[in-house]
Structure formats: structure tokens, C-alpha cells
Amino acid sequence: METKASLNYARVGAQKARLVADMVRGKNVDEALKTLTYMNKKTAILIKKLIESAVANADYKKTMNMDKLFVKSITVDGGPVLKRFRPRAQGRAFGVRKKLSHINVTLGEK
């Protein structure tokens, strides 16, 4: 059995989020949550909440052993890009690309 949770339109770039996702992929849920707690990244907070949500989903279904849960897969896909302008000197403007991403977590039983 497996359980899933997803976070769409997260206000973080996919490349930065993948760095954190690679750290917890394949780990036990308890170990992954401890790793994310002490990681100094904005994405770590988002992924930690997402894993906690997936654990709550598994607890609600009551079909899985909570002690044997591990991060089976975690994917970070690029989302849409918000294009904004930053005013500069002499009437110019530079473009700013605010990147969004979609994060999906699947927990499985060992």
C-alpha cells in the first residue's frame, strides 16, 4: 500500500526544491522529518509539512503500519512562472521571473 500528498503552486523554484527532495528520498519517515527540521532551507519547511500530511492520510486510511513508512518517491516538477517587472534607473525596467513548482510525495511500507 501507499499514500500520497501533493502541493501545487509552491512559491519556490523547482531546482532549489529538488536539492531538499534528494536528501529525504528513500528515507524512513521519522528520519526524513528529523533531517528536514534542522535543514536551513525554505523548501524544507514545505516538504516537511507535505510529508506530515501524507502520514496523516495514511493514519486516516488505517491500512498501513505507521512504524514502517518510508518516502517511496518525491517529485518536484516546474510550475508556471509569474513575470514581474522591477523598476530601474532612467525609466528602464528589468524582468523578474518568480518560479513556482509542484511537489508530490508518495509514502510506502517497508
Q: What is the pLDDT along the chain (110 residues), one digit of tens a residue?
A: 899 999 999 999 999 999 999 999 999 999 999 999 999 999 999 999 999 999 999 999 888 888 899 999 999 999 999 999 999 999 999 999 999 999 999 999 98
Q: Which residues pair with 1 in a beta bridge?
A: none
Q: Residue 49 corresponds to which cell in the numbers above?
A: 509539512
Could you give the CA distance from residue 9 to residue 103 in angstroms, rounded to a whole number? 8
Which CATH number characterizes residue 99's domain? 3.90.470.10
Indicate the DSSP class of residue 28: B
| Domain count across the chain | 1
- Which residue range(s) make up the domain with 79? 2-109
Count of beta carbons in the 10 Å neighbourhood of residue 33: 17
Q: What is the pLDDT of residue 64?
A: 84
If residue 106 lies in a helix (H) or strand (E), which one and from where to where? strand 93-109
Terminal alpha carbon distance of the chain: 10
